[in-house]
Structure formats: structure tokens, C-alpha cells
Structure 1
Amino acid sequence: MSGPTGAQFEITYGHARAVITEIGASLRAYTVDGVDYVESYPDDTHPPMGSGAVLVPWPNRVRGGAWPFEGGTQHLEQTEPERGNAIHGLVRKLPWQVINHTGSLISLGIDVPAQQGWPVPLRVTISYALDADGLTVTHGVANVGDRPVPFGVGMHPYPRAGLSATDDCTLHLAASTHLPLSPVTMTPDGPPVPMAGADLDFTRPKALRGVELDDAFGGCEPGADGLVRHRLTGPDGGVELWADPDFRWVQVYTPGDFLGRGRAVAIEPMTCPPDALNSGVDLITIAPGEAWSARWGLLPR
């Protein structure tokens, strides 16, 4: 073991390297030619600000920690008590088991039992693979219970545009809408609105200097190649976060005090928006014995 994130698992391909943690199966580091393409942190430190976390069986927040299921109400632990929410799923602080670990790939899994607030057991997996196309992350969810259940999946990486400072970067999102959030609960406070022409318009590259974000964006549409593509670009490099069409949402967060970095930017691919367990928007319902999978990845530019 090594610190609060447990064992550290390294994969490599050529001059690329990634480090994944046992606790949370989080992405702790991704470098190419020694240059960081995600924000990292020491292995004896708790992941700052959800860095690299896997968000299952829901991403983001559940208002009040309560959601409807089969005519009743499920009550999750309010893990964001200052806002009264359940946040970021059930697996980010638990140990995962290694399924397969080769030189350039690692797969991990965890069982999510039926428990307070979550009525149906799931088997959850994640794979990280390095190749000539960068880093690919594959999520899997299987229903091992006896009734259908809705869920969502997300991830919480902090991409870096190589050596570029965050304030010197531009951000371009594949999203077409912005979801208003309550400043009190950070859950939806109205329907999505068109992003084009608004103050927070990232339909074209927009400079991040002076822009403070903790915002959800939807309508993420794939291009001609079938993939959703978000881009962070700076004078000393760039990185693309691509995703399968399942990831129709993205949360963008720009903290000013990321450990060892200062200002950083999280670009969080999500299959559904905040509080989807209540709204039902873009939830995935999985039947007993069924399995789901989807991918996203990082490609230095």
C-alpha cells in the first residue's frame, strides 16, 4: 500500500505513462515524453477536488440525496452535507480489484451491493489502455440484481494542455446547451438553454482567463467520426477529450487552488446531467443480466 489511494498501478506505451490507483480506480497521472496531460498529485495524498475519480452509479449530484424508485423514495447518504446532496456516486473511496494488468492496459472491477439509497446490486468495471491513439478509458456496468435500475456514469479528470498555464488556454466544447444550476445546491434550476451567443459560449474556442466555471453543458453531439470531442488548447500544447455518444453531458470546473498547480480545469464527461436520478434526463436503465459499456479518452495535440 502507498498512502490513502492504496496501491499504484502503472501502464506504459512508448513514451506514454499513466498511473491508476487502487482506491477509487482513479487516474492519478498521464504523461507523454515526461509532459503532464492531466493534473497529478503525490501518491501519499488524498485526490484533490475529486481528481481522476470514477463517478458511478451517478455522476455529479442528487438533490437532497433522495430519488424515486418503484413507487417509493430512496435515501442516499448526503455526502455533500453543506449543500444537502449525495455527490459523485458510491465507488470513488473504495478499493477496486485488478482484473487484468499488462504493460499498456489495466482493468479493475468492484461490486456495488444493494444498500441504503441504492436498491439493485451492480458489477462495475473500468479499463485504462495506452496506445498510439493516446489514453482510452472504458467503463462497464452490469446489473446483477433481479429488477431494472437506472444509472449514470461520469469521470472527473483535470486535463492539462501540456506545459501551458490554464489561463493561457482556450476551451472548445462539443456541447450545444448550458444547464442553469442553483448557486445553493448546484443542481438544476431550470431547463437547458442554448449556449451559442450566450456569455458562456464554448461552441467555438473561448479563452479561460477570467472565466470561473462550475457548470454543466449538454447536447454534446458526435462529429462525423461518431465521437464527441472537447479541446483544451494552449501555446505550449493541447489535449483533446473524446467520448462515445453516450456521454451527452460535460461538467467544467475551474478551481483556483488545485494542489501544486493553482488554477486548473476539470472537464468531466457524463452520461447524464446533475440530479438525473430525479429528473430522469438521459438516465440509462439496465435490466437484470444486462451489461453496458462506453469509452472516452485523452489525446495530446
Structure 2
Amino acid sequence: MDTTNSVSITGGGYTAQISLLGGQLLNLSHLEDELIVPAAQTEGAFAGAVLAPWPNRTKGASYTYAGVEHLLPVNEEATGAALHGLLIDTPLRVVSQKESEVQLAGWLESSEGYPFGLEIALTYRVSADLGLAATLMARYQPEELADPSLEEDTDAAEPEGEATDPNDRGVDELDAGDADLETSDAAEPEADPADTDQNEAAQPEAEDSDNGDQGAAEEDATLEPELTASVGEDGETAPAEATVAGVDAHGSETDESETRLADLDPEEAASAHAAAPRTAPFGAGFHPYLTAGGAPLKECRLRLPARTMLKTKADGSVTGRKSVSADFDLTNGPLLAGRRIDHAFTDLPEEGWTAELVHGPSGFVVRMIADTPWVQVYTGERIDRAGVAVEPMTCPPNALNSGEDLIHLEPGTWFRVGYSIEAIRMD
């Protein structure tokens, strides 16, 4: 982890450090208290990482899209899965930086396992009203359509201050709180196909997501969606939202026959790569480990309004779902002492949701706001329970294979998702 190749922002009592490699959130504090476990203390645990173009695990590090099977790099040897996407190793550049805000941009190159070039824009902002607001934007740019002048055009963009009119905004105003954009619907709960939760029987090192865990966009007059921060009347950040304009919810057409690129001769493989799919499969998430100023988890409560949880195998494959109960019912903010959780939750409020880590003795609260249809919760056994990972996700584990809530990016269409974290002190 290269913490020297990073930028810092400060405002409203908040300080954040962001890596230029994948836009990883390295540190976040308010006054003297840490709000996330510093990434330097969690080597290999994806702490603070931005997860794209898929969050969580892809079973067997392979998936089929538009009739072609793709083989991803295996980065979790114990399960043979591809974990948390490719962005974490992607260099980003600073497009614009102010004291309290930084805008990053980069290009996720197409590869054998993911032959879809993506333009990436990432913004972090801190303020007294919002806490930390983070926004990820991505759009599919097939290589034959990519603009070679993209970098020059993007670097030339300079924001002109905060936007106030929601109808007069540009991509420079990227943020995690625009309540005018459409959101993905949360998945409907299904009947429980089995009485035994396979996750509960698995060791934390082989659970669903985290225990195995190892910039501003082109200034284009046609960019959609336009973004800005949104603060409600109560002063809280409006939930971060996501939209994919003009994309069918069921994605692109697929061919019943499946083709492995590895089985083709060089000319056929080149031809398959040249014929870029009409859409790109995409999912995203964020991976902060929340901490209430470093307080032990056994003294903290976690509140999350999710009503359904997945049952998965260690490799990320989903075997069913069930209503939350017992140790996995977080709706009333139970004490985390003795609870071991590493599960994906859904059936969240469609208008957005709030998760709160509450330190009982002091009343100190770390609040996350997001509007994704999924969230992974992991009680951090891999990092000695130094914090609890609360990971907003646009799709469940293994979505590249199941297709559930998978986003299908059309060329040139922006997708946006974000979250916020703030500190609340009881006076």
C-alpha cells in the first residue's frame, strides 16, 4: 500500500486521506477521533477500497456475458474467487483539488477477463454539514469509440465553486447526495429454501466478502447525469443515488451458445475482442471499516434497517435468502459483542438507508448514509475486530454470474453511486 502517493482534504473538522491508486480512502477522522480503521493497519483487507467493476466475489473467477465466457484473475486462492473488482490497482490522476474536495479521474483498461474499457470519475468532499461524501461515476467507452483526447479534455476542467441550482450543474459538482436521480430497486425477498445458513457454518476466513479481503469525468456538454450535493432540511446528507439512463433493467441480449476466448484461435479471439458488446456488465461498492474513535466493537451497537440476508457459500455463490433474525437482526441496533457477521443484506428502504455504529459508553455515533439495494456487513475478524465493515453495494455477491441487480452500461452513459460518513456527538 503506497500511502505516500495520496492527497488529503480537510473541512468542517473532518480530515480524509485518499490514495491515487484506485481512490482508496486511507484515513478519515473528525477532530481527534477516527471514523474508519486506517488502511495502513489492515493490510490486504481492502479497507476503504472502491470496489468496481464488481463488488464482493465472483465464483470461480469466471462469468459469461453476451454469450462469451470470461476468465478473471483469481485473487483469493482459498476460494478460487475473483474478489472486489479491478479498480484498486488502477492509477488515478487529480483533476481538481481544493482544501475540502478532490476530484480524481482514470481509465480502467479492457483486459482478457473484463474486455470493457471504463472511464472512471471519483470525488471526495468533506464539510461540517455532510461529513465525508464520496461519489463514484463510471461509463463504458469501447476502445474503438474512446476519445484519444479524453485525458487532455478532462485535465483541463476546473470547477468554479459549489453548485446551488440543481438544474444548473456540471460534472465538476460530483458528490454523494443528489436525490433527483433514479435508484435501483432493492431485491424482493424470496422464500427461505433451507433452514440452515451456510454462512453461519463457515469460518470467517471463508465467508462471503471481507474476511478473505485481501476522477472527475470528461468535461462534455452531453454528460448525464449532472450531479451535486443535496442537504435536507434537517441538515443531513441526502442518500447517494445511482442511475443508468436508457438501459433496460434486464440488460443486453445474450447468445444461448457460450464461447470461451481461451478456446479460440488467435484470429477468432481477436475478432471476438474487436466486436465490442453493446453494453458492459458493472457493479460497484465501497469498503470502509467503521470505528467509533477506535472503541472496541464489544462496546458498540450497529443499527441497519435491512430485513433480508443472503445465504452463501465461501466462494461467493448464493444458495438462498431469509429474513433477518437472532444475531443477524440489526434493525434495533444490537450490541456487537459475541456477534460474528459476514453477510450480504438487502430489503432496505428504497428512499435510502442509514447505518449507525454507536459507542454505548460515550454515545459517539458514526453514521453512514447510502441508497444502494445491498450492503455487506463484516465484523472484522480478519483485522482483530478493529472495526466493522459496512459496504454499500449495487448488487449481491456473484452478480456477474447471477445477473441480479447487475448494471448494463451503454457506451457513453454515466452511472453514479456514492455514500457519506459523519460523526455525531452527544453533548
Within 2, Cα distance between the matches of 1:86 and 1:150? 15
- Counterpart of 2:229 in structure 1 is none
Tell me the amino acid that sits aligned with residue 305 of structure 2. A
CA-to-aligned-CA distance 1:98-147 (integer Å, 9 cap, x gap) = 11111101111221122111122111121110112211001101111252
Equivalences for residues 56-95 of structure 1 within 5 A: 56-95=52-91
Q: Which has the higher contact order (CA 8 A, sep 6+)?
A: 2
The match for 1:154 among 273, 279, 285 is 285
What are the equivalent positions in structure 2 for 1:210-229 lying under 5 Å apart? 210-222=338-350, 226-229=351-354
Find the aligned partners of 2:100 and 2:421 in 1 and give their Cα distance.
15
Structure 1 position 148, deviation (Å) = 0.6
Amino acid in the other structure paired with 1:71: G
CA contact (8 A) 1:60 1:87 kept: yes
Q: Which residue of 2 aligns with 1:252?
A: 377
What is the match of residue 174 of structure 1? 305
- Cα–Cα, structure 1 residues 264 and 48, in superposed 2: closer, same or farther, change >3 Å? farther
Q: Indicate the residue corresponding to 1:243 in structure 2.
A: 370
* TM-aligned CA distance change 1:172 to 1:279, over 3 Å: same
Match of 2:30 in 1: 32
Q: Which residue of 2 aligns with 1:9?
A: 7
Structure 2 residue 272 is the aligned partner of structure 1 residue 274 = no
Distance across 1 between alignment mates of 2:102 and 2:283: 22
Hey, what does 1:185 align to over in structure 2? Answer: 315
Aligned mates of 2:4, 2:87 — CA distance in 1? 14
CA distance in 1 between counterparts of 2:309 and 2:6 reads 37
Aligned 8 A contact 2:36 2:289 in 1: yes
Contact 1:214 1:251 (C-alpha < 8 Å) held by counterparts: yes
Aligned residue identity for 1:119: P
Is residue 25–residue 96 contact of structure 1 (8 Å, CA) maintained in 2?
A: yes
TM-score by length of 2: 0.64
Distance 1:201 1:158 in 2: 19
| Structure 1 letter corresponding to 2:390 | I
**4+ aligned runs moved over 6 Å, structure 1:** none
Contact kept, 8 Å, 1:5 with 1:23, in 2: the verdict is: no
Q: Distance in 2 between matches of 1:24 and 1:290?
A: 21
Question: Could you tell me which amino acid in structure 2 is paired with residue 194 of structure 1?
Answer: S
More off after superposition, 265-274 vs 124-133: 124-133
Q: Which has the higher strand share?
A: 1
Structure 1 residue ranges without an equivalent (≥5): none
- Taking only the aligned residue pairs, the percentage that are identical comes to 32
Which residue in the other structure is 1:117 paired with? 113
The answer as to whether partners of 1:6 and 1:22 remain within 8 angstroms in 2 is no
Corresponding residue pairs, total:
287
Q: Which runs of 5+ in 2 are unaligned?
A: 143-275
For the Cα contact (< 8 Å) 1:5–1:46, is it kept in 2? no
Structure with the greater alpha carbon radius of gyration? 2
- State the partner residue of 1:284: 407
| Partner Cα distance (2:355, 2:374) in 1 | 11
Cα 1:41–1:65 change in 2 (3 A) is closer
Q: Secondary structure at the match of 1:64?
A: helix
Q: CA deviation at 1:6?
A: 4.3
Please give the secondary structure, in 2, of the residue aligned with 1:278: helix
The CA RMSD over aligned residues, in Å, is: 1.8
Change (3 A) 1:82 1:264: same
- The answer to whether the 8 A contact 1:162-1:238 is kept is no
